[in-house]
Structure 1
Amino acid sequence: MQKPDSATIPQAPGVYLYKDDRGRVIYVGKARILRRRVLSYFRPEGLPAKTRAMLAHAASLEYLTTTSEKEALLLEASLIKKYRPHYNIVLRDDKQYVLFRLNLKHPFPRLETVRRARRDGARYFGPFTSALAARETWKILHRAFALRRCSDRAMKNRVRPCLYHFMGQCPAPCMGLITPQAYHEAVHKVCELLQGRAVPLLRELRAEMDQAAEELEFEKAAILRDQIRAVECTVERQAAVLPGGGDMDAIGLFPAGKGLALGIVFVRNGAVTDGRAFYWPGLSFEDAPELLWSFVSQYYSQATPPPRVLLPWLPPDLDSGLDDNADSEAQEPAQAARHGQDLPAAPDRVEEAAQAANGALLSGRELLEQTLADRRGGPVRIVPPQHAADNRLIDIAQSNAREEARRCQNQDELSILERLAAALRLPAAPRRIECVDVSHTGGRQTRVGLVVFEDDRPSRSQYRAFAMPDSGDDYATLHGWIARRLESGPPWPDLLLIDGGRAQLAVIQRALAEAGQEGLFSLAAIAKARDEHGQADRRAGNVADRIFVPGRANPLPLREGGPELLFLQNVRDATHRFAIGRHRRARSGAALSGELMRLPGIGPATARMLWEKFESVEAMRAATLADLRSLPGIGKARAAILLEKLKNLS
């Protein structure tokens, strides 16, 4: 890409977007001063290899200005998530983790699982990266400490206690069978446990159990014994690392041979509660500074940050790495401002220099800390290790990163089909994959598109479109399509993928069973992820589709953005495009046939014959007399009449 004219670049904070020759965004960056930052990419030497590769593919540059650098930082994270540029370090697994929520202002709080913390005065505990582990903990807590499970609306409308009350797992506050004070005693114990204060809680529970036993209240003592066991079971999953307590996230890096891995552990009240690891192939240790800053910015744009984020070291600001010349240019006006000299620079440079002299400009770290503090509603510090306990946490995070790198590199040695077989629990690698999708408009011109992949490559010569009876019932259409597919015979697929959810999968299973062909081939269904309102999430950049297989109620736990899920999404998208294309073609054909039959002397049979021969209005209008005479049953005289009518066809 050629160096842009400096006069065309704004001298304001904002975001810049490099695009390739097809208009796709390949890199997004933010800058305190756009002109200085962009021009620093075109200095003669000293650019990292990844930056040189990006410039070689860039064809154009666009800018979005903001009123402050903090707004630019937030906009950058939003655009990276939206476009997922090739040359940015993108956090693929950016899902919301599970949190526990307790609204202590309610007279009878309910322990809820949520994905997002809000500033509503409630207490939040977590995060839990595994929804299954969070659910198990939630069940243990409810069995040990009787709390209500129903929603506020259901609680208000109850006329008798629920089943959990008779199981001893709900005190029935809906019926007034417990006072708020007594209910909050159980809530207090749950809070103590979730805050990591298990030792004093266990001591208190054992004392209450001993006292109940001495007073011969054996039923109460048994309940307390079960609570002690539940607390111990929960505590076993946590490792104490900070005797004094405290909340923080610790991040560790591990440079593998073919990429860079990052691990993060969550410490709440001095105990490690959970952790995650990520791997980026193709990155080297040279990319570590950008990875650390980019990860913190993207990750905490979705998750609530703790008061302390621990990095293995404090990398330099990215601006300082690419903008050395610009920074040195800024020093002279700043020094002049300190000594009261005249400033020959432009007004915006004068203002910047004055701010620098007064210490008003924030470093990248300080800016990021302010942004995270706004999200948390309290101070957030990004710090390197301060003592031995911090180093121990970094070691734990680095160990997780090392294991993730080893796992990913081992997986890379397997083919995508072998990995897919392992993910879907298939008996062997699916060499032939067929995928189906139903397309129609209001139940008319219904088509079932069938796409074939052989050895992980599309086999377009085997694509087929099945014309089905008009119906708005996709389930009935799929049921009828199975009979058509069985009639067509082998080769049978190793895996049939259905564009749909559990219901579509169940219909295919039932149709095969009714035909006596159950188990003829493996089945799976792919459905869009659900958003916070329970609707199909069709937002751009969504990578969280769900995969269902027979005999399992919940979707498979495939990693979002993982190669197995991305491959299945590619197969589904190809099928979706093919089915829609054939449906549109059928719809156009129906409309064209209707237009043709409006012409005198053309009936349904002739209209269909013309459509099958020419397939479009343009082709019919361009037809010659010889073309029309080649149609069966069309003589010279009738061909001349048809030619005249078709020339006038609009």
Structure 2
Amino acid sequence: MQENTNREKLKLVPKKPGVYIMRNVDNRVIYVGKAKILYNRLAQYFIGTPRDQKTMQMVSNVTNFEYIITKSEKDALILESNLIKKYNPKYNILLKDDKTYPFIKIDMKNEYPYLSLVRKTHKDSNKYYGPFLNANVVNEIIDIVSKEYQIRSCKFDLTRPKKRECLNYHIGYCSAPCTRLISSDAYKINLSCAIEALDGGLRQMLPKLKKSMLDFADALDFENAGMMRDKIKTIEKFAEKHRVVTVKKVDLDVVYFYYTQGITAVIIIEVRKGIINDKKSYTFLETDDIANDEIITSFLEQYYLIKNERTNRIVLGTNLEDTQIDFDVLRESLSIDGMRDVGISAGRGKFSKNLLLMAKENAIDAIKQRLETKIDDQLFLLKEKLNLYSVPTRIESYDISNTAGSNPVGVMTVFENGAVSKKDKRTFAIKGNNGSDDYASIYEVLDRRLRNFVDGTAGFEQRPDLIFLDGGKGQVKMGKSALANYELDIPLFGLVKDDKHRTKDITDGYKNYNVRENRELFTFVSKIQEETHKNAITYHKKKNTLTATQSELISIPKVGKQTVS
């Protein structure tokens, strides 16, 4: 069943580079991978037979997957490494190490700064360039720049001058600051030229190198021509910009709003300490009649204030037309309730602009999936309202029924892809002496269901994507206690009723989610609660009828309990 779901989902995966994340039944990340073409790579897992036994073992544990589109395969490689360090997936054990990608560092605190390779950046006065995929490229760039601008390559303490220059000076590769053959001011002029070249990706060096390569080739000096060619390739690699990491240790959220064909998609890319940390996706239907400014303002206020999300800076992007956002007012509204000095901008730096392009591409893909999927709209609305990881294609709802504590029963009602699945309905006669104790009864019912799931009992093999309990905080607390017994991470909520026993809110035990504000979602949730309550009442009446019949038979002379049963 789950394998078929993944295959259906695979049809919507784009043929673009990116990173994919695989989760198990407990919603834990078990594998992170990168791909030049996402569809082709994921198809190797879900279509046909994986190449080896270990891969087959991993795929058998995958119940859901998601992905992030990147600009290039190299961006995907860097993002993959960052996500592996974040999630520590079970099947990425070979990639679990403490190494990070290399950077070029210029030690600006030194009187005579030099270039060096480092794997960590800091918030200081030094300059950093990177990250790079290959340490060899970093060392080659350091060598090229140092020689071109006569920057020292040694790391000696130069507070005291040396008596003699090293070989690099005599072959024209260094200006010998160690013996003060160059003044500090003159050295800094060389350094500023090197920094300017690095800031420009060393592109200004390419014409000179290409001319030298051709001159050497014309002179049949193919060895030096080959050396110039290799330097050109190295500089071209250096000039490549990566979208997924910045040398600045910034914390920010990139939020992109994209509208087309009646759907508005919102993509949030979280950056923490200069590294992409997470991606969240939301899609909203029927937004044609809502002002674009209202869409942006309402979403940001609900996301950051109501959902209690935190960030220091927000970079906004959108394709919504005629938007006139008052950044000062929005900044002020988001700077309350513990969020201080939230910076909001349209994204001016290269890193922010690159992330906005990535977010836009993912937003376009989210709308494509939304248009092509066969899953009902209510499930998407429910996912967004409850901030679930994935669309809840299988929902299980539970209710308890009794009369003054007699014949207590429980029922499990199942909704598959938004429709009630009568064949999956399960009933439970309460075995404990719980009587009219709804809390103890709901705990027993859910505990029995989960134990059957863990044991692989027939009829209970499928894992729910979402669990609803009829009731409030008390029922939710007992339900989460039952889940904890089996270490299962399944979203669980209570369906709260008003004084007239009609659906009112959804609660997670701490806060309530208002479903009345969306008629379509309210109707769907009410249907789940009403169907479950109806099933519980029907089963309870059946038990009462059976009990009454048994009581009448026992009253007949010479007929006992054994005969009745």
Q: Check whether TM > 0.5.
A: no
| TM-score normalised to structure 2 length | 0.37
